[in-house]
Amino acid sequence: MIKKTTPFFALLLIFTLSACKETKQKEIEETSLLERKIPNERQVDRFADIQILRYEIKGFDLLSLSQKQLVYFLSQAGLSGRDIIYDQNNAYNLEIRRCLEGIIKAYKGDKESDQWYLFMTYAKQVWFANGIHHHYGMEKFTPKFSQEYFATLLESTNVSISLDAVATIFNKDVDRKRKVKDPNVDMIIASANNFYGEGVTLSMVEDFYKIKIDTLDPYPIEYGLNSTMVLVNDSLKEDVWKSGGKYGKAIDKIIYNLEMASNFAENQDQKAAIDKLIEYYKTGDLRTWDEYSILWAKSTQGDIDWINGFIETYGDAIGKRASYESMVQITDFEASKQMQVVTQNAQWFEDNSPLIESHKKKNVKGVSYKVVQVASESGDASPSTPIGVNLPNNNWIRQDHGSKSVSLGNIIAAYDKASGPGMLEEFAHDSLEISLANKHGYLAGKLHTALHEVVGHASGQINPGIGQPAETLKNYASTLEEARADLVGLYYLMDTKLIELGLITTLDVGKASYDNYIRNGMLTQLIRIDLGKKIEEEHMQNRQLVASWAIEKGEAENVIEKNLRDGKVFYNINNYEKLRAIFGELLREIQRIKSEGDYQAGMKLVENYGVNVDLNTHTQVLERTQPLDKAPYGGFVNPVFVPLINDQGDIMDIKIENNQNFEQQMMYYAEQYSTLE
């Protein structure tokens, strides 16, 4: 589609002809009553459904200069790819973001008006979501400022934007959802992301990979992971993301900073992994990516680690193409030591799981687990971040070479520090549930994350001759994988083995975890979606699937009781041991689905239990949470690393500045890391 830059007066004419006076008047009246979001003392910023927080890095000053330089250049490599995630999420994201940033930089008018506040809220939503669609719900943001006001901003700042980009912002029927996971439609055509070119259909892509993929290959690559699928002369082609290819300008900056980081690697294993990652970015060869993933998984020594690349496929409705992400980590040795017992007993957990015997790994290899301090994040990991990670994703690499799991300790601590009272008291069934949560909730959460990442994602094996889950389970693969990992954690949190290992002193920790999981899966997570919408995000689908399936399976014995009190819905677990058995039963079935590639069974599980939301319950949850004024989503500003350089150009030290607010950081990033201009 041709982009045409549009002058202010043409836009103003379009807007004037398309809008009626009554609509404008109503909008003005509504915005004049606007209640502005004011951050509290624990927040950096607060807008829409978002709170922005700040995390601290413990012990950075204790690192050697070489280690600090390694952290610095790895963080620069990550930030150099920041533009990529915007373009992946939608073809107009970068143009729209730059327009918004241009206005913010140049505007000298009234910054106290409702219209400016609404404009800035929209800009912050775009920054937070890495684009114009909600990072979790996937719906396009609807600007609350008027189109005419936008035109005046363009005129007063002399900023230009194309007609197509303007339509993408304001026309509700254009690019409505970034990702559509509905098996009844062509999910590629319906999705507004930029992983597939114009004219590409789901059937074309499926036929393309049927020819390429050998399901009997014991070492399959992750087909499609690092390319845009486009039509060239009516034939499908993978436009590979690499130096000299698509996103080449950004990738060259990534490569430069990785080459600098390689000079400060802590050991030869680290250096070999970084150098192989550089080779991958230069070639775009997915066999090289697998070679890198193996080297990275085996590089477990040293204080510094990283995640960088096209890795997770949650952004693609059919789970093939990966979003760019980066994370730089510093090991928290004291916290990691406490959790090493999980990795040391990984084989015991596998041997004693309720899986079918042929689906268990006979030799769990190379599982490592660390609690880390996040030092920098970018791409799909920022501003919204995970709290735990397990990689690599390729199943045969996990099975043959192992995996690394991390828990982001300072992120978890920052969330915990920022959490205020209210949600637990509103949705817990009784005082006993509240007491369990207050006494054991924090430890329960940490343990569930550890078991999910270390044991859950490393558990189970696929039957010989069965393809990878992305091929066999398609758009349901990610939801089922997350459910499987969650269930492993849930199953073992009520096992006395954890007491024996010294991880807990009472099974009340497991009870607190079960309470929270059912409460969240059935109630509190619903604040994250608009009323009447279905659940499409994989982690949310997974949690409701597990909770609702367990409630149904335990109904005859009243394992989980649904109560109405003063018209409010509550859930109460009457038998934790029986619930554990139910979790084990579902774990066994989901692993069977994955091991056998049973698409129909997987589809039924997700569609029947994980997608649809009871409208009355959803309405009630939103009404109950409104007085609490809780932000359903949270994210972070990153510390800024400042090199201190002498007259000879040598770095003498790296200092941390951690005082930017959200707007300041996003404008700073726009100035420093706009690599795809």
**pLDDT mean over 86-110:** 98
In tens, the pLDDT along 374-396 reads 999 999 999 999 999 999 999 99
Secondary structure (DSSP) of 625-640: HGGGT--SEEEEEPPE
Neighbours of 238 (CB within 10 A): 20
In the predicted model, is pLDDT for residue 25 greater than 80? Answer: no
401 residue type, one letter: H
Identify the pLDDT of residue 649: 92
* Structural domain containing residue 148: 1-33+91-132+141-174
- Report pTM: 0.88
Helix axes 114-129, 147-157, angle to 10 degrees: 90
pLDDT of residue 630: 86
CA 515 to chain CA centroid, nearest Å: 24
Note whether residue 417 is domain-resident. no
Going by the DSSP 8-state scheme, the letter that residue 611 receives in this structure is I
CA distances from 676 to 82, 246, 376, 667 (A): 9, 10, 21, 16
Angle (deg, nearest 10), helices 93-106 and 114-129: 140
Q: How far apart are CA 307 and CA 326, in angstroms?
A: 5
Instruction: Report the distance separating Cα 122 and Cα 100, nearest Å.
Output: 9
Q: In this predicted model, what pLDDT tens digit does every residue of 635-654 receive, in sequence order?
A: 999 999 999 999 999 999 99
pLDDT at 175: 96
pLDDT over 50 (residue 598): yes
Query: Where in 15-55 does DSSP place strands (E)?
Result: 45-47, 50-54
The confidence score (pLDDT) of residue 34 equals 59
Domain-located, residue 399: no
Q: Is 23 within a domain? A: yes
Rounded mean pLDDT of 557-582? 96
Name the one residue in this structure whose structure tokens are 């689905």: 593
Percent of the chain residues past pLDDT 70, beyond the cut? 95
**Which has more pLDDT, 336 or 195?**
195
Cα dihedral value 440, 445, 450, 453, nearest 10: 160
Neighbours of 417 (CB within 10 A): 12
Quick check: is 450 in a domain?
A: no
Q: What is the pLDDT of residues 251-310, one digit of tens each?
A: 999 999 999 999 999 999 999 999 999 999 999 999 999 999 999 999 999 999 999 999
Share of the chain above pLDDT 90, in %: 83
Q: Is the pLDDT at 22 greater than 90, yes or no?
A: no
Has residue 165 been placed in a domain? yes
Q: Judge whether 463 and 595 are in contact, CB under 8 Å.
A: yes
pLDDT for residue 38: 83
Q: Which carries the bigger pLDDT value, residue 204 or residue 468?
A: 204
Mean pLDDT of the chain: 92
Tell me, what's the pLDDT at 35?
67
Q: Flag whether 492 is in a domain.
A: no
Sign, CA torsion 486/488/489/494: positive
Judged against a pLDDT cut of 70, whether residue 634 lies above it is answered with yes
Number of domains in the chain: 1
Mean pLDDT of 101-127: 97
For 220-254, what is each residue's pLDDT tens digit?
999 999 999 999 999 999 999 999 999 999 999 99
- State the pLDDT at residue 253: 98
Q: Is 20 among the domain residues? A: yes
Residue 670: phi and psi, rounded to 5, are: -60, -40
pLDDT reading at 179 higher than 70? yes
pLDDT category of residue 21 using cuts at 50, 70 and 90: very low
pLDDT band (50, 70, 90) for residue 23: very low
Instruction: Write down the pLDDT at residue 365.
Output: 82
- Evaluate whether residue 220 is within a structural domain: no
What is the average per-residue pLDDT within 399-408? 91
52-80 confidence digits (pLDDT tens): 999 999 889 999 999 999 999 999 999 99
